[in-house]
Amino acid sequence: MGKSIRVDVEYLTRVEGHGNIVVDVRDGTLRECRLEIIESPRFFEGMLRGRSIFEAQHITSRICGICACAHSLASIQAAEEAIGFVPSEQTVKLRKFLLDIEILDSHILHIYFLVAPDLFGVKSFVPLVETHNTVVRRALRLKKTCNDVCDILVGRHVHPISCTVGGFTKLPRPGDLEKMRNLLLGMIPDLEATVDLVRGFRFPEFERETEYVALVSDDDEYPLLMGDIGSTDGVRLPKRDYRKITNEFVVPHSTAKHTRLSRDSYMVGALARLNLNYSKLHPRAKEIADLFGMNRKVTNPYLNTVAQLVECFHCLYHAVDVVEEFLETGLNYDEEIVVGLNEKQRIPVRAGSGVGAVEAPRGTLYHHYEVDDHGRIVHANCVIPTGQNLRNIEYDMRKLVPEILDRSEEEIQLALEMLVRAYDPCISCSTHFLNVTFVGRENPEGS
């Protein structure tokens, strides 16, 4: 007779959101394994209806306190496409720079604060203050630098101020560019030390072949802000066909919709981007990928954290290149958007439909707006990266559980928690995410 197991985890920390995991193993047979999401709807799409496209990015940035800039950029992209506005080359470069900094900031948060405690064998980041003080100080320095650069560029990182439809209401001055360059260059030693840290981690060994989805492009640039939607199964579609990619549907055990494309599920995020766009990485990032064996298709979801480290190098060096280019060529300050003051700068609106597709830290983010001839949003749809990953996490768990039944209850519990955390899920801005319940062994309390 096989093993029956029951493990209860009331709260899984170090993720954003709330939900449950239910696993039923009886006599060695996995009978049930599902990821239940019980978050209440937040109604942001409803909030957008009737609002001007020029204020939408300030609303949507509140969807997430970590990916605020990505939501702003996706929102702006959708709005501009709906009214037929084409941003300048300078604006596009600065938006790419902004996205670089946000991805860098979010990945550092995940590597150090959310994943590292598991691999150090502690319950949270707090004990590391005593045992690994150098690591803690490094993490805080890296995070602070990202925040400082965002403060200079868009006023603040959480809910950016100056990034808007048409461009930026305030552009960095030469002294600001110099300061941002110096801040970014100062991150390099700490980021190199992070490589040594992650090389010392032992990630769980687990493989599951799945479909990976991310932005793709025909040029040589690692696509984060713009591109078509592609998958490792050969799918390629323009962003306006995002519904054919996400194929959202309702499942009874989750208030969040599930998605699927060519298979039962797919994955978005750093690992997906690397699997699709490795050849376009910055040379130094490619060296880091090669060091970790990430120069091939990787099917271990736990290594999403390593993919994030690789992207940290790409985003840092790409951001430095952008700043140094502007230091050499200068910025055109005539492009600053002075809202409501300069008649020549008023952006004409028209009725239309637009889709924004941006690589947020956790994967491809979609905003779709339909706009009337007054520039008001009459319909909005937002598809969040974690929503796309939920079904893939569930299928990973279904494969993982039978492979680790020979372990103790504590080890199984940790493996499941680490698997969910590897995806860096952002269900909401809550402090806990799920309960894990293995159902199948006699409950001494009779429940």
**Which positions make up the binding site for Mg(2+)?**
45, 432
Cα–Cα dist 107/117, whole Å? 15
Cα–Cα dist 384/365, whole Å? 5
Q: DSSP letter string over 215-282?
A: EE-SSSS--SSS-EEEETTS-EE-GGGHHHHH--B--TTBSSPB--SSSS-EE-SHHHHHHHHGGGS-
Residue 196, φ and ψ in degrees, nearest 5: -60, -40
Helix/strand/coil percent split, the chain, to 5: 45, 15, 35
Q: DSSP letter string over 316-382?
A: HHHHHHHHHHHHHH---GGG---TTT-GGGPPP--SEEEEEEEEETTEEEEEEEEE-TTSBEEEEEE
Contact 240, 354 (CB under 8 A): no
DSSP character for 442? Answer: P
Cα–Cα dist 157/192, whole Å? 24
Instruction: Report the amino acid identity of residue 157.
Output: H
Binding-site entries for Fe cation:
67, 429
Binding-site entries:
45, 64, 67, 426, 429, 432
Show Cβ contacts of residue 405 under 8 Å, excluding neighbours closer than 6 positions: 2, 3, 5, 25, 28, 412
Contact 257, 247 (CB under 8 A): no
Greatest alpha-carbon span in the chain: 79
Contact 132, 194 (CB under 8 A): no
Binding-site entries for Ni(2+):
64, 67, 426
Contact 21, 416 (CB under 8 A): yes
For 411-432, b where at least 16 C-beta lie within 10 A, e where not — what string? ebbbbbbbbbbbbbbbbbeeeb
- Cβ atoms within 10 Å of 131's Cβ, excluding its own: 11
Structure tokens belonging to residue 432: 């806990």
- The residue to which tokens 């995020």 are assigned: 269
Measured in whole angstroms, the distance separating CA 152 from the mean position of its chain's CA atoms is 22
Cα–Cα dist 115/304, whole Å? 11
**Strand 8-9 to 228-231 pairing:** unpaired
283 burial via Cβ count (<10 Å: 0-12, 13-18, 19+): exposed
